[in-house]
Amino acid sequence: MNAVMLGVLVMLILSVARVHVVLSLVVGAFAGGLWAGLPLADSVGANGETIQGVMTHFQNGLSGGAKIALSYAMLGAFAMAITHSGLPQQIAGAVIRKINGNQNRDTIPSGINMLKWGLLGGLLVMGVMSQNVVPIHIAFIPMIIPPLLLVFNRLQIDRRLIACVITFGLVTTYMFLPYGFGAIFLRDILLTNVDKAGMSTQGINVMQAMAIPALGMVCGLILAFIHYRKPRVYQDKPAGHSSNQDAADEPKISSYRSLVAAAAIAACFVIQLKYDNLLLGAMIGFAVFMMLGVVRRNEADTVFNNGIKMMAMIGFIMIAAQGFAEVMKATDEIKPLVEASAAMFAGSKAAAAFAMLLVGLLVTMGIGSSFSTLPIIAAIYVPLCISLGFSPMATIAIIGTAGALGDAGSPASDSTLGPTMGLNSDGQHDHMRDSVIPTFIHYNIPLFIAGWIAALVL
């Protein structure tokens, strides 16, 4: 068996078996590396050269994930400062007061379907805006979702649907709109790497190339709304608030604190737009809260530490995922996997596109990052697409889709870790069964089909 396939399968099987994702990534990386013939530790070859072992490759990868983890930790602190301003909790309290109608009820009040769809639509818009307008990525989840859990409980919304809605906003936006994170994914990584691999992308409209795959994601979202339309009952457990009454009694929104929150978000956005740096933007945003007195000096340590704690699990998983990716690259078995898959189909464009998308799914599922997958597969896929006669538009659609496949539905992806972080604040949302599996089914399957169609018609 191919070492990359083995590593990914080991990681997925352990994750589904409720082994922690970090440990699953470590075991999967070591299984794939050792299967490929890499030594466990560094050794000296017959010619006197040092052969790096699995442990060294894994550790080298960890250093690459440190920057990501630090950025997420800073985003967590910024998100906690926004939460500290009281705006998310106060909005949740206002919504709960509307549902309660000044009295407690055990059933869903009539005439609130518009509120339910408004909340879901709002979460979708937030997911989209978190990738470009206010590029804080998944940091909006912990400041919005926990205070609203009691609202979702009263409305009996299936949290698997909420996870699918958030993931749609996170993934579809960067793979279709070339702004914010989408500019990095589509222009800086996808088009640049296709160019480097020997295929000119001059004059290519990347949105046109990725339109059909994006429609596949839309179809998946519609299917999720149909599949999870039935009410699901959850217990009212402490999360953002200890009870409905606590949330309903939140003070009215402070105009000053709201203005400060808006100013901090605007500052974060401008810095990221100008310098393309999430870490710096989050730092400036947090500084605005401190300078304008919303986060006082004696509160700063607590707010900052709580933000880091909130994002700590995701940070560790992303670091481990980078170690896993480094070991998979070191096996040198990604290219043979692609070539062997393509050789099975004897030059058939339809079958070759199917194989390339399948390999992209496997690689991204293991690495957990479509941004990290693209540079790996572009150098391999572009020559293969040229030899098979794929057009530049079709090639971009294949590589872009192959990279995005597996982002939704990967245990190590922030697109699934983020929703779980918010929805499991009260311990009633399982990462694998309520985030990973639902998003895999509703997005990877339609996206795979749409990407395959795009490869054949563009």
Q: What is the pLDDT of residue 361?
A: 87
Is residue 449 classed as helix, strand or coil in its secondary structure?
helix
DSSP result, 184-237 = IIIIIIIIHHHHHTT---TT--HHHHTHHHHHHHHHHHHHHHHHT-S-------
Poorest-pLDDT segment among 13-22, 49-58, 107-116, 354-363? 107-116
Do 150 and 236 form a contact (C-beta atoms < 8 A)? yes
Poorest-pLDDT segment among 4-8, 271-275, 290-294? 271-275
Q: What is the pLDDT of residue 59?
A: 85
Return the percentage of the chain with pLDDT > 70, whole number. Answer: 83
Look at residue 397 and tell me whether its pLDDT is greater than 60.
yes
- Mean residue pLDDT of the chain comes to 80
Count the alpha carbons within 13 Å of 336 in the hemisphere toward its beta carbon.
12
Residue 201 to residue 148: CA distance in whole angstroms: 45
Residue 72 to residue 308: CA distance in whole angstroms: 8
Q: What is the pLDDT of residue 250?
A: 45
Q: What is the pLDDT of residue 437?
A: 92
Return the percentage of the chain with pLDDT > 90, whole number. Answer: 17
The length of the chain in residues reads: 458
CB atoms near residue 293 (< 10 Å): 11
Residue 321 to residue 367: CA distance in whole angstroms: 5
92 Cβ contact list (under 8 Å, min separation 6): 147, 148, 150, 151, 240, 241, 247, 250
Dihedral of CA atoms 55, 58, 61, 66 in degrees, nearest 10, equals: -90
Do 440 and 416 form a contact (C-beta atoms < 8 A)? no
Look at residue 279 and tell me whether its pLDDT is greater than 80.
no
Residue 7 to residue 12: CA distance in whole angstroms: 9
The structure tokens listed for 428 are: 């009633």
Of 33-42, 129-138, 140-149, 360-369, highest mean pLDDT: 33-42
Q: How confident is the model at residue 401 (pLDDT cuts 50, 70, 90)?
A: very high
Look at residue 292 and tell me whether its pLDDT is greater than 70.
yes
Distance of alpha carbon 280 from the chain centroid: 21
> For the segment 49-75, what is each residue's pLDDT rounded down to a tens digit?
777 888 888 888 787 667 767 776 777
The structure tokens listed for 121 are: 């639509």
What is the DSSP code (8-state) at residue 104?
-
What would the mean pLDDT of 402-406 be, rounded to a whole number?
86
CB atoms near residue 375 (< 10 Å): 16
Residue 379 to residue 128: CA distance in whole angstroms: 30
DSSP result, 418-434 = HHHHHHTTTS---IIII
Look at residue 212 and tell me whether its pLDDT is greater than 60.
yes
> How big, in percent rounded to 5, are the helix, strand and coil portions of the chain?
75, 0, 25
Residue 300 to residue 296: CA distance in whole angstroms: 6
Q: What is the pLDDT of residue 172?
A: 92
> For the segment 245-257, what is each residue's pLDDT rounded down to a tens digit?
444 444 445 778 8
DSSP result, 284-342 = HHHHHHHHTTSS-HHHHHHHHHHHHHHHHHHHHHHHHHHHHHHHHHHTT-HHHHHHHHH
Q: What is the pLDDT of residue 89?
A: 61
Residue 371 to residue 384: CA distance in whole angstroms: 21
Name residue 87's amino acid. Answer: L
DSSP result, 371-392 = HHHHHHHHHHHHHHHHHHT--H
Is residue 424 classed as helix, strand or coil in its secondary structure?
coil
Q: Give the closest residue to 262 by CA, choosing from 146, 366, 133, 378.
A: 133
Is residue 57 classed as helix, strand or coil in its secondary structure?
helix
Name residue 284's amino acid. Answer: I
Q: What is the pLDDT of residue 241?
A: 44
